[in-house]
Structure formats: structure tokens, C-alpha cells
Amino acid sequence: MRNSFLIMAAMLSFLGCSRDAGALSVGDAAPNVTARDQDGRDVNLADVYAKGPTLIYFYPKAGTPGCTAQACSLRDAFPDFSSANIQVIGVSADTVEAQKKFTEEFKLPFTLLADTDLAVAKAFGVPTIPVLGVPKRQSFIVRDGKIAWIVESAKTGDHAAEVREALGKLEAK
């Protein structure tokens, strides 16, 4: 029985299904990290948090079907998020140029960060997909400089609904 557990734990760890040791929890201080956006400008996340509640979502690769569905879900809900003063920041290991192309092709109205060195993903404790070395699909809501909500396996086409539900629960608190 013990050997079966050890084998299963090793397999899950290899597949990236376990939680990273550095993963954040609700109530933790949100990481203060800087990365370049799709226009090549430095974005300091502490400055972003100071402007209000922020959705930080990580996705594996710009332009792939799941990541496009996720981004477009958030794009379509962006007017609602904006009217509620929720900022949206997408993060992947793509280059500034790839993020710019993704933004333009799908008319994304929010900031995308080029996390080519994975510093942002590491700061948030987001694990990478083995072999590919890109961040897993995870999302965080930051409120008052603290992590207020985490989803460790964000949906693609329904991500906006997932975020809306989380925001509703946070507002009810």
C-alpha cells in the first residue's frame, strides 16, 4: 500500500499535478514583480495592485486553442470587469512580440506580460508543464495587495464566468 502511494505521488509530481512548494495561498501578500508587456513597457505589479482589484491569469502559450478561448472569454467580459474596476493581466512565457501579435489578432483589451524568464510564474508559485517549460493555467484575484482567490486549473472558454462567480463571492464577504 505504501509503495503504491509513493509511486502515485511520484507520477503526479512528474506530470505537474501536485501543488508547487512555493505556491501562494489566499491571504498571502501578492508578489511584487516586474515584467514587460506586449508593448515592451515594464509593468510593476505592485503599481497595478495599487490601482485596485486585479485578475492575474497564467496561460501556457499565446495563440493556441485553449489559451485563445480563455483570452477571448475574458475579452468578451472585459466591459463588465472594467465597470467593476477589475484590472486584467495575462501572463505567459511568450515573447513581447508574440504577446503583441496575440493582442492584435484577437483584439485583447488588457495587458499581457511576456514572462520569458518565468520570474512572474515563479513569484506566484505557478508550476510549469513538464517538458514544455511553460506555466500551467492558473488564475489569481489580488485585492488590497493580497491574494483573494486562486483557481489552480482555470477553464478555457468559461473562464470569465469562473472569475465573475469568484468576484461575486468576494463582494458578498
Cβ pair 49, 142 in contact under 8 A? yes
Supply 104's cell numbers: 492584435
SS3 88: strand
Alpha carbons 68 and 117: distance in angstroms, whole number: 22
Selecting among 33, 56, 62, 67, the annotated active-site residue is 67
**Residue 67 a catalytic site member:** yes
**Helix 159-172 / helix 65-83 crossing angle, nearest 10 deg:** 40
Q: Which of 173, 46, 30, 154 is nearest to 92 (CA)?
A: 154
Catalytic site positions: 67
